[in-house]
Structure 1
Amino acid sequence: MTIQTTTHLNFHGDARPALEFYAAVFDGRVTLATYAEFGMPAELPGAQNIVFGRVESDRGFRVMAYDIPGSTGGSAAHGGTTHRENGTTITTSPFFVSVRGESLAEVTEYWEALSAGASIVEPLAASAWSAGFGMLTDRFGVTWVIDVAA
């Protein structure tokens, strides 16, 4: 079993151009999915924003990013709070640390250890894109995204 740890950047509507830029800089491949592709009505503001984005290169560069729900225009977020509001994850944190494993059993071990003294943002559970996905802010204020590779 192996895990991958990846920096997850949080943007206000410009994740797509940022990821395309990083792909050009690091000769990487871009993977993008919009909120509309995950079921948001296409006519709503923000539906074409990025809900999941990733750049990977053969040389080992890897970064993930998304557009914070309900935000538009203007670079990475500043600050450091993350919470759930009306079923949506809202954050002012400029990044998350993403840990991706091969199985739910594997990532559950990390989840249980990291959750000691943590604030749970989204419990570890099956999601539309993963057999297990969860988000927490640890006792040191770092927000972690833990999931199973699809």
Structure 2
Amino acid sequence: MSVNTVTHLNFRGDAQAALAFYQSVFGGDLAVVTYKDAGNVQEPAEADQVMWGQVSSAGGFQVMAYDVPSRLPYSRGENAFFVSVRGETAEEITAYWEKLSDGATVLQPLGPAQWAPLYGMLTDRFGVTWVVDVAAQY
């Protein structure tokens, strides 16, 4: 069993540029899935924005990012990041979810997603937003 935490940065239309910049600084591999790629376009003008992206280097640097859809609130600097917890099994992630959800506001119930066998998002009782999922190949 293995779990890692990754800073998950939030942008409004700048995620692709930010990830490319971080890749130029730290090296590594860049992976990007747009809302169009995932079949999750709710606002046509946002189809090519980043639904999920990541830079990961052999040296250990890792950061994730996405473009917050216009239908959701976003204020640069106010909700600039999430803490992402990725695990190998549904049992592992479900156990973390159950503990984190005590007193939390669930933003996306834990369940299957197009990009992961299990995914959920909540804001804990301390105001920290957590994204949890079972890691899948990109």
What TM-score results when the alignment is normalised by the length of structure 1?
0.84
Q: Which residue of 2 aligns with 1:50?
A: 50
Cα distance 1:25–1:138, how it changes in 2: closer, same or farther (>3 A)?
same
Give the superposed CA RMSD.
1.7
Q: Which residue of 2 aligns with 1:35?
A: 35
SS in 1 for 2:77: coil
Distance 1:33 1:109 in 2: 27
Q: Which residue of 2 aligns with 1:78?
A: 77
Displacement after TM superposition at 1:40 (Å): 4.4
8 Å contact kept, 1:22–1:28: no
SS in 2 for 1:112: helix
| Cα offsets for 1:61-87 (capped at 9, x unmatched) | 00000001128xxxx8232xxxxxxxx
Distance 1:65 1:77 in 2: 14
Displacement after TM superposition at 1:39 (Å): 1.4
Distance 2:63 2:107 in 1: 21
Distance 1:31 1:104 in 2: 23
Q: Which residue of 2 aligns with 1:13?
A: 13
Q: Give structure 2 stretches of 5+ with no counterpart.
A: none
Distance 2:38 2:61 in 1: 26
Q: Of residues 63, 66, 84 in structure 2, which corresponds to 1:98?
A: 84
8 Å contact kept, 2:38–2:115: no
SS in 1 for 2:113: coil
Q: Which residue of 1 aligns with 2:125?
A: 139
Distance 1:14 1:28 in 2: 19
What TM-score results when the alignment is normalised by the length of structure 2?
0.91
> Identical aligned pairs, as a percentage?
52
8 Å contact kept, 2:46–2:69: yes
8 Å contact kept, 1:10–1:94: yes
SS in 1 for 2:47: coil
